[in-house]
Amino acid sequence: MELWRLPGHRLRELLGRGEVSALEIAQNHLERLEAKEPQISAFLHVNRDGALMQAGVIDDRIRQLRQAGEDVDAALPPLAGVPVAIKDNMCTEGVPTTAASKILRDYVPPYDATVVRRLREAGAVMMGKANCDEFAMGSSTENSGYFPTKNPWDPTRVPGGSSGGSAAAVAAGEAAASLGSDTGGSIRLPASLCGVVGVKPTYGRVSRYGLIAFGSSLDQIGPFTRDVEDAALMMNAISGHDPMDSTSADVPAPDFTEALSAGVSGLRIGVPREYFGPGTEPGVDKAVRDAIALLERLGARVGECSLPHTSYALDVYYIIAPAEASANLARYDGVRYGPRAAGAVTVGEMYARTRAAGFGPEVRRRIIIGTYVLSAGYYDAFYLKAQKVRTLVKRDFDKVFEEFDLLATPVSPTVAFPLGSKVADPLSMYLSDVCTIPINLAGVPAVSVPCGMVDGLPVGLQLIGRSLDEATLLRAAYTYEQYSGNGGQVAE
């Protein structure tokens, strides 16, 4: 049986009924991984021995439950045996964590990130660490310090970024689910370009403890899956307050699976006119509008709306995010983390040599921008003004959610673009996130759900919700998925 074709909830059902073992699931996915990796390069580190060991522990537990005459299905945790990949900017105890940067090439964390620990407690089996843009800075996973990841639907194209390895692994059947991080679209963009579901939760819904920071007021961890039910199960596992993260929301997390089948009848869905600009490809525009029309036929009330400060969001983001990156990456100096460059005579020279050798061009570019906008004489003109405009962006969302329950937009203005086509043009690359960045500035949740194919490449529908209302987002995404037939596909 090709178990790698099945979503996580189906694998968990088969395991609970005794039709497969956790070891069979893990071995099947490892075989798929070995077959696909030469084409897509989704993983920086494959946790083969660890995955097989975890699966063996689950099978031992099942044998013990059977011998005791207990209900195995009821006793197993909700993600038992489900193979997952972890973006390489999340700490994993005893497993290399590099953030796809050469400056961290030898780093092996002594602890798990909270989300990794919670997935282990839920029974998930870690297949390995997924490739990403270095320190999560990029939109194509071409900025990895090691190698680019390729799109499973067309290996000549990018998978999106920065969580491209996480998305590609799920799309190719190398893992049933994965974790990514989203600072300006880094979950939703690769989810759209790879044809999988990607959830960017409300800022604070999911702990960031153990996440290697890029932009601390923007970063959020979320899941990739092949269908919405799996996304809800993953959200159940990773959500909730964490005292180890001072930005973690101290509010209870609901069971995100409970409302999935409630439908969309009566939901008010706004369509912001600013998100359908002249840069949107005609095929993408049609696929997204067709998806919105289906939601309307299913009972949602759809109307046009406006988020007037959207046009400023990209500029604001590329001041605030590099500023925070400049502060966060100051610790990588050749003293506390990473390898130290040889040959330096002074401390300043050591810093310069180490960082020049360890950081790639995109990371260096953002550090320089961030340091500049925070410097004396420019702080008020750039950083302070950007924070004020960020408040206006947030107020746009607050106002529109007085009238609507959800918003519907494209995720990306284009389908996956060819590898190398934008590497020399950073501004063109930054425009890939034009539809996703405002959501991070506002801190609200959003989901990308597959809504069709254009010239053999996936397109994603973005649904945006009120703060801490991921349940309504997932309910609408699930309803669309059930009636559109666009969920659960695997790239062959």
How far apart CA 321 and CA 317 sit, in angstroms, is 6
* Residues 307/274, Cβ–Cβ less than 8 Å: yes
Would you call 162 a catalytic residue per the annotation?
Answer: yes
Q: Residue 372 has which token pair? A: 């500049």
How far apart CA 282 and CA 178 sit, in angstroms, is 31
Annotated catalytic residue within 140, 144, 166, 186: 186
Annotated catalytic residue within 21, 140, 162, 192: 162
Mapped to the 3 state alphabet, what secondary structure does 174-220 carry?
CCCEEEEEECCCCCHHHHHHHCCEEEECCCCCECCCCECCCCCCCCE
* Amino acid at the residue 463: L
460 SS3 class: strand
User: Any residues with CB less than 8 A from the CB of 459 and at least 6 apart, and which?
Assistant: 192, 283, 284, 287, 288, 410, 411, 415, 450, 451, 452, 453
How far apart CA 80 and CA 20 sit, in angstroms, is 12
Of 294, 289, 298, 292, nearest to 265 (Cα)?
298
Annotated catalytic residue within 87, 129, 200, 422: 87
Would you call 87 a catalytic residue per the annotation?
Answer: yes
Strands 177-182 and 301-305: unpaired
Residue 91 region by backbone torsions, left for phi larger than 0, else alpha for psi between -120 and 50, else beta: beta
* Residues 492/243, Cβ–Cβ less than 8 Å: no
Catalytic residue numbers? 87, 162, 186
